[in-house]
């Protein structure tokens, strides 16, 4: 199973029509699980403008039908509500990257990455300043053993895994992500605290 196996041609055609003139950077395949059984499959495409100023991501169903898209732009200026939230959480901290995401309904969120000294923390905040999600790089010793064991069943010989803690700040639910870099494609895994596999994302750069 790879990111591009059975990639629906209808998705490629739809993306080219929706975002003409863009440069496709990556295609990916998302497989969701419940109780160890595959319960869903989707595909996606990421692209940028030639100047790299704007990014586009679209998701498609298994049959290639359009589901949703997000447009990303680098944003140097953040709304006051967003900066107030950031300053309350991390006073005096600088930020490496700031991106504005707009979905098909016009809803705007901001993804802000703290500088390297802050353990690779990325925050997702809506335009009203509400913290929605956080992702933080963590060491293997901070990961539940059940998750580590699950990752080891997927990891190829000599392949290193990088872990992160993913937290839904509205529900408080935390999951664990593992990023595996391979020669042919990237693999992202997501597990619950008990070590149950939730999502596999296979990505291949173009």
Task: Kindly state the average pLDDT of the residues 139-144.
Answer: 93
Continuous segment of H or E residues that includes residue 43: strand 37-48
Instruction: For residue range 34-62, list pLDDT tens digits in order.
Output: 998 999 999 999 999 988 789 999 999 99
Continuous segment of H or E residues that includes residue 93: none
Q: What CATH code is assigned to 1-73?
A: 3.10.450.360
The rounded distance, in Å, linking the Cα atoms of 119 and 5 is 35
- The pLDDT-based confidence of 80 (bands split at 50, 70, 90) is very high
Q: Beta 37-48 vs 54-61: how paired, if at all?
A: antiparallel
Task: Kindly state the average pLDDT of the residues 160-165.
Answer: 88
The rounded distance, in Å, linking the Cα atoms of 174 and 33 is 17
Transcribe 191-203 into DSSP letters: E-TT--EEEEEEE
Tokens matching residue 195: 């070590």
CA-closest candidate to residue 81, choices 103, 108, 105, 55: 108
Domain boundaries, the chain: 1-73, 75-130, 139-206
pLDDT for the residue 120: 84
């Amino acid at each position: 199973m790879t990111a591009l196996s059975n990639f629906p041609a209808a998705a490629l055609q739809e993306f080219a029509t929706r975002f003409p003139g863009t440069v496709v950077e990556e295609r990916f395949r998302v497989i969701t699980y419940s109780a160890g059984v595959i319960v869903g499959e989707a595909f996606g495409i990421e692209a940028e403008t030639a100047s790299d100023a704007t990014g586009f991501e679209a998701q498609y169903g298994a049959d290639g039908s359009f589901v949703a898209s997000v447009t990303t732009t680098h944003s140097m200026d953040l709304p006051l509500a967003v900066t107030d939230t950031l300053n309350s959480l991390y006073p005096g901290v600088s930020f490496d990257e700031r991106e504005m995401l707009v979905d098909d309904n016009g809803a705007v969120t901001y993804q802000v990455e703290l500088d390297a000294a802050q353990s690779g923390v990325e925050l997702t905040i809506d335009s009203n300043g509400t913290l929605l999600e956080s992702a933080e790089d963590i060491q293997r010793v901070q990961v539940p053993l059940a998750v580590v064991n699950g990752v080891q069943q997927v990891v190829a010989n000599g392949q290193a895994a990088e872990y992160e803690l993913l937290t839904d700040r509205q529900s408080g639910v935390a999951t664990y992500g593992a990023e595996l870099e391979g020669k042919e494609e990237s693999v992202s895994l997501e597990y619950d605290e008990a070590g149950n596999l939730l999502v596999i994302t296979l990505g291949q750069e173009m």
